Amino acid sequence: MKDRPLLMIPGPIEFDPEVILAMGRPATSHVAPGFIEQFGSALEMMREVWLATSGQPFIMSGSGTLAMDMAASNLVEEGDAVLVVSTGYFGERYAELLKRYGAVVTLLSSPPGEVPDVGEIEDELQRKKYKLLTFTHVDTSTAVKVNPEPIGRLGLKYETLIILDGVCSVAGEEIRQEAWGIDVVLTASQKAIGVPPGLALLVASQRAMETFLSRKTPVRNYYADWNNWLPVMESYEARKPYYFGTPAVSLISALCVSLSQILEEGMESRFRRHAAIGSAFRAACKGLALDQVPRSDTVAANTLSAPKYPEGISGAELLPQINKAGATLAGGLHPAIKDSYFRVGHMGAVTQGDLLATIGAIETGLLKCGYHFSAGAGINAAFKVLNSD
């Protein structure tokens, strides 16, 4: 018998065995030729995954919050106006983080489960000149997805740099950084990128790099300062070592394996697979008559879902039962609605089998908690979507 449940939270996720194997190899020197090649090719592959041919990739040791910090500290100077479009917990975090670097933040928030209207965002950009706009592509606290394309267009029209927090979306949801005019797309390793936690990843546009290079004041974050890291990235890409801080050699080797797998699958197929898995899971929720946090399918993410608990059943009862039945899931995160829903991650190396097993575990948990439903309704609904063509 397998001795562990499936890890179906919104990161860390189930990782591909080849990626885990790469982590387990003896650590090499960060200036060893083999490692220089891995680091260099990981940077090159990031451009392909991000669909940003002329972007500048950065790979740093840290979690997703460091990637947020890196973008903010390098692009913001004291007194800069920043518009934060927030769809939940991580938008609020970005607003707080930006203030530390002297940004004057305007917060445009939507109630949990909803996304701000593009017209509302444009009105705000018309009202005031903003240097920067940030938004969370998929807010992991609500499973709500914002459409980046029109926001990218607004960034070009109003000459505002656009930062996309893609921690829960990069390499899962469709993102075309360059074509959509997004200046920074940032993420972390532990989600759809498919590598254990520990890497902060980001690609910056030429426009963002020019803004950084024309700063008048020093970057206020010593560790994240691109003046320290740009020569590292440029050198490794030219297959030469350069030291500022010791790179996470084992994680970068694993990243190299994972990015190769992602590109082997192909970005278009990967977007399609995640879309199918997301809609299959939402269909399962409907089959089980579970409401969901996102207001509609159009604003629902494909990388994770947020079903609500049925009337009279709490997370404290249900989640341990689901865990016993084979899937570890996450509780709610948005402070306003935390106890009313749970979260299921379905991204990266996740298979149709993992998804169906997870829905099966949810059905078992619901049954144990005394919920009345037609057994198999969730699995059947998902199965139909997954095999519809």
* In the complex, minimum distance from the CB of residue 77 to ligand PMP, in angstroms, rounded to a whole number: 23
Q: Give dist(CA 383, CA 6) in Å, integer.
A: 19
- Determine contact, residues 143/169, Cβ cutoff 8 Å: no
Residue 342 DSSP SS3: strand
Nearer to ligand PMP, 72 or 379 (CB): 72
* In the complex, minimum distance from the CB of residue 306 to ligand PMP, in angstroms, rounded to a whole number: 12
Nearer to ligand PMP, 72 or 188 (CB): 188
Q: Residue 124, Cα to own-chain centre: how many angstroms?
A: 26
CA distances from 121 to 80, 148, 152, 269, 359 (A): 18, 12, 12, 31, 37
- Which residue's Cβ lies closest to ligand PMP? 64
Four-residue CA torsion sign, 234, 237, 242, 243: positive
Q: Is the peptide bond before 197 cis (omega within 30 degrees of 0)?
A: no
Q: Where are the alpha helices (DSSP H) in the chain?
A: 17-24, 33-50, 64-75, 89-100, 118-127, 148-157, 206-213, 226-237, 249-265, 267-287, 315-324, 352-368, 377-386
Nearer to ligand PMP, 251 or 382 (CB): 251
Q: Which residues bind ligand PMP (CB under 6 A)?
A: 11, 63-65, 90, 136, 139-140, 165, 167-168, 188
Count of residues making up the chain: 389
Nearer to ligand PMP, 14 or 139 (CB): 139
* In the complex, minimum distance from the CB of residue 305 to ligand PMP, in angstroms, rounded to a whole number: 14
Nearer to ligand PMP, 9 or 362 (CB): 9
* In the complex, minimum distance from the CB of residue 248 to ligand PMP, in angstroms, rounded to a whole number: 14
* In the complex, minimum distance from the CB of residue 141 to ligand PMP, in angstroms, rounded to a whole number: 8
* In the complex, minimum distance from the CB of residue 89 to ligand PMP, in angstroms, rounded to a whole number: 8
Nearer to ligand PMP, 21 or 107 (CB): 107
Name the amino acid, one letter, at 110.
Answer: S
